[in-house]
Amino acid sequence: MTFNNKLKRFFILGCQRSGTTLLRLILDSHSKISCADENISYEVLSDSNKFKKFLEVNSKMKWTGFKIPRLTEQINNSIIHDYGLSTPMQNFYEMNPLIFIVRDCRDVICSMKNLKDSENGNWLQKWGIPIVNYWIENSPDFKQNFDSDIIKIKDSKNYELAMAALYWKFKNDSYFRYVKLNYPIIKISYEKLVTNPNDTIMSMLHFLDLEWEDSVLNHHTIEHSEIDKDGYTIGRTNAHNPINISSVGQYKKELDSEQLNSIISISGELMKKFNYF
């Protein structure tokens, strides 16, 4: 697989609540990688001068990584825009390595529902649903591509869950588009990452032409940027927690059969392509 390593940067993609933060913390623990979270990534990538300065600061690193889940499906767009972006961005992608993490749609949706903000709303209500509505209202292509799903959602008894399933679907569907475009990309399974971290992390390091370092298994003991005083990241991940399997299969405890059917009616075919059933 060929990529432009002279530019010394890579991007972490994937649907929010899929483990993009965990990937960022793990890779940032390698001595030859500096990996930015979203607080920095979007600001730097939207301003060429800030981007240049950021790369200069990290010039001694072999790689500079950027975690950008909000832009996951737009890497090949000439103009990048989003519900959460104040102004459109020019495309910044130049055949750099892409690390794309995928997680079971059902667990992702549980995580979206369980992540609360200061006003006790959840991530899905604050971001997920408004983002889907943004694309329905502002992208004729999106509306056309997902027309049958949009109709199903309108008739669904579980509107929020169905909207979340569409969110997961349009984010993760982009993986196959990038494969067809021959972009340099590696798919990482969240489930394999937490159940078999050694082999999964080794595959990423090999993809980036890096040697193994034990530090990547100990991200929770290492200082990282963009962490608040309580040790939490922008996505409310506790950076002091080690890799663990506690959230794998959480949907089995939280979702009933009717709710699961509403999700699968939207995302089922894509879940099959990722071997989730």
Question: Could you report the per-residue pLDDT of 69-95, keeping only the tens digit for each?
Answer: 999 999 999 999 988 777 889 999 999
Phi, psi of 88 (to 5 degrees): -60, 155
- 2 located within any domain: no
Q: Look-up: residue for tokens 């940032």?
A: 28
Query: Mean pLDDT, to the nearest integer, of 202-206?
Result: 97
- 236 located within any domain: yes
Q: What is the pLDDT of residue 229?
A: 81
> At a CB cut-off of 8 Å and minimum separation 6, what does 92 contact?
45, 51
- 3 located within any domain: no
Residue 162: pLDDT over 90: yes
Q: What is the pLDDT of residue 73?
A: 96
Judged on CB neighbours under 10 Å (0-12, 13-18, 19+), 265 is middle
- 222 located within any domain: yes
Query: Mean pLDDT, to the nearest integer, of 56-67?
Result: 90
Q: From its phi and psi, is residue 195 left (phi > 0), alpha (psi between -120 and 50) or beta? A: alpha
Across the chain, the runs of DSSP E, i.e. the strands, are 9-13, 33-36, 63-67, 79-80, 89-90, 98-102, 185-189
Query: Mean pLDDT, to the nearest integer, of 108-121?
Result: 84
Give pTM, 2 decimals.
Answer: 0.94
Domain hosting 264: range is 9-273
The CATH number linked to 211 is 3.40.50.300
Please state whether beta strands 63-67 and 185-189 pair in parallel, antiparallel, or not at all (unpaired). unpaired
d(CA 86, CA 66): 19
| Number of domains the chain contains | 1
d(CA 168, CA 16): 8
Residue 5: pLDDT over 90: no
**Is-contact 195 248, C-beta < 8 A?**
yes
d(CA 256, CA 254): 7
Q: In 3D, which of 14, 10, 35 has the Cα closest to residue 224? A: 35
- 1 located within any domain: no
Q: In 3D, which of 84, 59, 242, 258 has the Cα closest to residue 156? A: 258
- 224 located within any domain: yes
Residue 6: pLDDT over 70: no
Residue 4: pLDDT over 80: no
Residue 120: pLDDT over 90: no
- 135 located within any domain: yes
- 39 located within any domain: yes
d(CA 26, CA 67): 12
Please state whether beta strands 79-80 and 63-67 pair in parallel, antiparallel, or not at all (unpaired). unpaired
